[in-house]
Each structure stands twice: as C-alpha cells, then as structure tokens.
Amino acid sequence: MLIRSQNSEILINFNTLAGIEIAEGPIKIIITSYITGCSYLLGEYSTKAKAMKVLDMIQEAYGDSEYTKYVIPEVCRILSMKPKTEENKAHAGELGEMLKKGMTFQMPEDSEVEA
C-alpha cells in the first residue's frame, strides 16, 4: 500500500517503512514515517485524538489493501469468463479504478478527521 502525505508531496511505500509514529510537533501533533534514519512528515493534526484516528484509518486501509491482493486474481478469473461486451469492459474498468484507489491512502486534512 502507498501513503500520500497530507500536502501530496510525499509518496511512501508502507511495506518498506520501519514505522509510523505520532509525535509532538512545534505547533501541532504530527504523524511521521521513518525508514533507516530518514523521517518524513505525513500530516499535522490539532489534537492527539485526531492523530490517533488517522493512525486507525491507516491500519484499516492497510488491512483492506492486503485483502484486495487476494481478491484481485479471483475477480480477474471471473471477469475473463464473461462475454467481452462494451458494458462488461466498462464494468471491469470501473472495478480496476476502484481497486487502484484502495491501494493508496491519502492522509486526510485536520478538518476531515472527527476524533
């Protein structure tokens, strides 16, 4: 799974991270990821409760993305047995886009998180 930072300037591969943590920033609570000595700011939140909620959202998104890895081959198998109509091609395309979106987690803005 990929994680896109709140400002959209950083894209992190979750599977290569050593960890993600909540820390006290100079003004706000921050969420950072770290990989062998490098730390990346992923988002800033007004309260620790909001940051914890975002961490819960990342955990859930990761679980969903892992599940999706197992679902994709079965979906592809089923779709390959369907007639190649324009409608079926459109449905397959829509499904593919949905699955791709589920493989990237966009860090939400502070205002989008309810603690």
Q: State the pLDDT confidence band at 55, using cuts at 50, 70 and 90.
A: very high
Provide the pLDDT for residue 48.
95
What whole-number distance in Å separates Cα of residue 93 and Cα of residue 85?
Answer: 12
pLDDT in tens, 57-111: 999 999 888 887 777 777 778 777 878 888 877 877 887 787 777 789 999 999 9
